[in-house]
Amino acid sequence: MIAIVTDSTICITRAQAEALGLYIVPDSYSVRDRLFHEGFSDENGDFEPLIFGEPERCKTSQAPVSTFIKQFEELIAKDMDVLCLVISSRLSGTYSSACIAAREVDPRRVAVVDSLSTAGGLHLLAEKARELSAKGLSLWTLAERIEGMREQAGIVFSVDSMAALRRSGRIGIVPMSVGTVLNIRPILLCVRGTVVARGLVRGKAERLRALVSRVPENAKHIMIHYLGDLAQVESLRELLAQRFRGIDIRVNRGGPVLGIHLGTGALGVSWITV
């Protein structure tokens, strides 16, 4: 049997994780040097005022090697092989931690896959991993199949301000006026595991239309992630439902670790085409 391990930037509820049989390794964040461990998305409490109140005093930390080692050892002791699927190595050092842990525990029984994604993209890939593992694939065949699916999963998102992303160093140069004047917002994509800019829009309605337009016609599964404005979420969901009839548009709240890097008002759509 294959166990699937991922990290908390998947932004998943406890019930969703249990339904998929996922094991979650928590990332961490600190506010004014007070340390918090990110949990399931429905168990992080009212974190938004905390991290958005003084964003300059917030930091995030990748899941440590020791936590991965403990999780891997516990699963192997139950006679399980482990597929560890984590946030993009270009966005976090979590992949490195997982690889070191796999080598320490048993590299024959732990396969670590860089999702080149996070949040909804990571979630959808984890669902595919569970679906394929149920078909009896070997650990390494499963890892290869998921690596082959990474290009078929995507994320498009927008934020109210580029300040948080600039502080995090997760994106290149974008005009300083973005998100600060004229109601202009960026449209951003996660491409091969890193964040790139794909244009500017003005106003909430145009932002929603731009997000929807970036989702490919052949998307099979779609998920919205958000921080902040629920009214925008419902409007986005309605637009997606109009374009992608018959597809269940799921909604998950983002978590504090991604929130620190994205800032308030983050709104995104993830999809997979298989």
d(CA 124, CA 222) in angstroms, rounded, equals: 8
Q: What pLDDT does residue 176 have?
A: 46
Average pLDDT over residues 102-112: 98
Residue type, 47: F
* Chain centre to alpha carbon of residue 197: 18
Q: State yes or no: pLDDT of 164 exceeds 90.
A: no
Q: What pLDDT does residue 241 have?
A: 97
Q: State yes or no: pLDDT of 78 exceeds 80.
A: yes
Q: How far is CA 201 from CA 87, 162, 185, 212, in A?
A: 28, 14, 5, 13
Of 81-85, 91-95, 172-176, 215-219, give the lowest mean pLDDT range. Answer: 172-176
d(CA 102, CA 109) in angstroms, rounded, equals: 8
Name the percent of the chain lying above pLDDT 70: 95
Burial of 252: CB neighbours in 10 Å, binned 0-12, 13-18, 19+: buried
Q: What pLDDT does residue 225 have?
A: 97
Q: Would you say the pTM of this structure is higher than 0.85?
A: yes
* Residue 75 pLDDT level (bands cut at 50, 70, 90): very high
* Residue 171 pLDDT level (bands cut at 50, 70, 90): low
d(CA 17, CA 42) in angstroms, rounded, equals: 11
Q: What is the mean pLDDT of the chain?
A: 93
The encoded tokens of residue 81 equal 């092989």
d(CA 240, CA 269) in angstroms, rounded, equals: 9
pLDDT in tens, 175-220: 544 555 568 889 999 999 999 988 899 999 999 999 999 999 999 9
The DSSP H or E segment spanning 60 is: strand 58-61
CB 243 within 8 A of CB 214: no
Q: Which of 162-171, 174-183, 195-204, 231-240 has the highest mean pLDDT?
A: 231-240
Residue type, 216: P
Q: What pLDDT does residue 229 have?
A: 79
Q: What pLDDT does residue 162 have?
A: 82
Q: What pLDDT does residue 254 have?
A: 96
CB 116 within 8 A of CB 150: yes
> Within a 10 A sphere around the Cβ of 89, how many other Cβ atoms?
18
- Greatest CA separation for the chain: 58
pLDDT in tens, 109-124: 999 999 999 999 999 9
Q: State yes or no: pLDDT of 228 exceeds 50.
A: yes
d(CA 175, CA 184) in angstroms, rounded, equals: 11
Q: What pLDDT does residue 264 have?
A: 86
Place of tokens 């990748």: 62
The encoded tokens of residue 206 equal 């145009």
* Residue 170 pLDDT level (bands cut at 50, 70, 90): low
The DSSP H or E segment spanning 140 is: helix 139-149
Q: State yes or no: pLDDT of 173 exceeds 50.
A: no
| DSSP reduced 3-state for 50 | helix
The encoded tokens of residue 258 equal 């991604």
d(CA 115, CA 7) in angstroms, rounded, equals: 11
Burial of 251: CB neighbours in 10 Å, binned 0-12, 13-18, 19+: middle
Q: What pLDDT does residue 209 have?
A: 97
